[in-house]
Every structure is written in C-alpha cells, then in structure tokens.
Amino acid sequence: MNSNFEFQYPWVLALLALLPVYAFLRGRVGKHSALAFSSADIARAAGATAKAAAGRLLLFLRLLSVALAIVALAGPRFANDRTETQASGVDIMLALDLSWSMMALDMSGPNERVTRFDIAQSVLEDFVRKREHDRIGLVVFSAVPYLASPLTLNHDWLAENLRRLHIGMIRELGTAIGDATASAAKRLKSTQESKSRIIILLTDGDNNKGEIDPIPAAQLAAALGAKVYTIGIGVEEPCRLPMFEPATGKLVLDPQGNVQPTLVLQPANYSVLNKMSNLSGARSYRATNRRELQSIYDDIDRLEKTEVKLRRFTTYTPLFQWPLLTAFGLFTLELLLANTRLRRVP
C-alpha cells in the first residue's frame, strides 16, 4: 500500500494569491484617524504606551485564518493505493521418498558429498517459494506414508517442516509408492474451487511395500481429477548406499574422513512411473544430478501456471478538518484580542 498526499480541488489554492493583495490594500486604503489633544505633551505620553503592532498582529491572524480555510476547501487528503491479488491457484501435493536409498551420493558433483535427499530437499524448497499463490501440501513416505504438511498457503511454515526432515526418521523400511500416491490424492479430494490438482511424486526406487499398488493409486488420483507427475532420481545402474546414522540422517565417516559403502541399491522403476503419469495425463521425468532435477521442477512450474488477477483501488483519508479547526481557533483568538487586550480606540 502506497500513501500520497494530495488535494481534491487543487485549483482552490489559487485563492491564496489574493491574500497579499488584500493585505496591501488594507494598509493603503482607509480613513486617517485623528484625536484632538489640548497639549502635545498629552499626545506624546499616549503614544509611548500605545501598542503600535496590534493592528499588524490582528491582520496577520485574519490572513492566516483565511489561508487555512482556503486550504481546507481545497480538500487535503491521503490517497491510499491498494492492490488486491485474486488468484485461481493450483492445489499441489508433494510426495517425497524418505527411504534409506535416498542417502546415496551418486547425484553429487565432483568433490561433493551430497545425498539424493539433500538435493531433492533443496530443489523442493525452491519450487515451493516460487508458487506463492498455490496451496501446497507434503506427504513423505518410506514403507508407510505420513502427512508432513496439509495443503497450505503458509509456505514459510511448509519450508520449515521440509528442512526438519531427514532420512531415517521413518522407522518402517521400504518404499510404498502406491500408498503415498493414494494418500496425496485423498488430500486433494476435499479441496474446492482450485484451478487444478496435481501430485508431484519423487522417488529413487521401486514399490515394495504398502497396501495399494502404484497403478491403481494413479487411477484413483486421475478419477479425483488430479495429475500425477512422477520423477525418478539417481543413476540408472546399481550403486552403493553409504553408512549413515538413522537418528540424525548424517553420514558415518571412517577415520580418514571417507564414507563407508554398505548395501547395493537398484535404480528406480521408470516403467511404472511412466504408466502412472500417462494414466492422469501428466509427464514422467528422470534426474541424475541437481541441474536436471531443478530443470524438471522448472518445467512443471511452467506447465501448471497459476492465474493471478490484480485489483487496484484507492481509498482516501480526508484531512480538511485540521486546517479548518485551526482556522476557526485563530479567528476566535483574533476576536478575543480585538475586543480585550488589543481593543482599538474608536
């Protein structure tokens, strides 16, 4: 909101130019006063105690009162420019894989030690901040899905919850892609008046847990009017899982500062992910590094645009009462002085 001072009738201020003319004529036009004294000594004594400036003070008060009255007539006011955003947003449920395989380091660059989860977490937070007019929720999953955040416009709170996540906080091991998709779809079912509904599923594995298979879950989402964008991350070949501490999600290093590889991980099931997206009319993606993953979320951001309408209007705060009240006070003061302390001799 921007506030600007202005006059509703600025042309009225032109009347102020007449005040100097009035003051000049007031001093030049009029009868010469005279008093008859029987002695010049009496006249000199009277002149010594006369208030020579009284007339000028009263004239000044009169001119100032009239000037303030003219300012009040010009309508001083504050113009408050407001802009309201009316958005037809997209309801988005993010489904993020928290299975142990997300600790793999295959997506990090040279001389980096960054896990798949670290990269996904960073890119997701950036995506959330770009969609300021959309309600976004978050489901995380391993062997079971959990709601990390319901649909909300409070993206700072959502980003804070996202930063609290770490691999190992879900004790049940496995990857329940179908259950996570169904859970996200049910969260979108209750939304009203949204432009569209989408699920963005990010995983690095294959469905090996849960009660619902991925394909029926995608069919359920499509029946509820939701698109399912799927993203498979990680290299498309087996790789090693480094040792880490599940309680904190931190890598465990040997005395030389190197990671300690443990299990062999299999790549994501891209065939199933493609079928899930095709069922709902969405797209499926693959990412093997941070740049590719960032590009994927940028592409989804372009595909699912939010319609934003801006309504601009102006409200006014009138200020005329203050110069008007001041003018009235000065005029009253002039009358009091003219009839008391500075009374003129007839």
- pLDDT for position 244: 93
- At 80 the pLDDT is 85
What is the distance between the alpha carbons of residues 293 and 342, in angstroms, rounded to a whole number? 87
| Per-residue pLDDT in tens (0 to 9) along the chain, 346 residues | 677 888 989 998 898 888 888 887 776 654 445 555 555 555 555 554 444 455 678 788 888 888 999 898 988 998 887 766 655 678 999 999 999 999 999 998 888 899 999 999 999 999 999 998 889 999 999 999 999 999 999 999 999 999 999 999 998 999 999 999 999 999 998 776 677 899 999 999 999 999 999 999 999 999 999 999 999 999 888 888 999 999 999 999 888 888 888 888 988 999 999 999 999 999 999 999 999 999 999 999 998 887 666 567 788 889 888 988 998 988 888 888 888 866 654 5
pLDDT of res. 41: 59
Tokens 């691999």, residue located:
167
Q: Which amino acid is at 180?
A: A
Residue pair 274/230 in contact by the 8 Å Cβ criterion: yes
CA distance 177 to 290: 22
Burial class of 128 by CB neighbour count within 10 A (0 to 12, 13 to 18, 19+):
buried
In terms of Cβ atoms closer than 10 Å to its own Cβ (0-12, 13-18, 19+), residue 301 is middle
DSSP state of 259: B
- Where in the chain does DSSP place strands (E)? 2-7, 76-88, 90-97, 136-141, 145-152, 196-203, 226-233, 239-242, 244-245, 250-251, 261-265, 284-287, 307-318
Which domains are delineated in the chain?
2-81+319-338 (no CATH), 91-305 (3.40.50.410)
Count other C-beta atoms under 10 Å from residue 115's C-beta: 23
State how far Cα 323 lies from the chain centre.
38
Say if strands 307-318 and 244-245 run parallel, antiparallel, or are unpaired: unpaired
Choose among 52, 50, 63: nearest CA to 19.
63
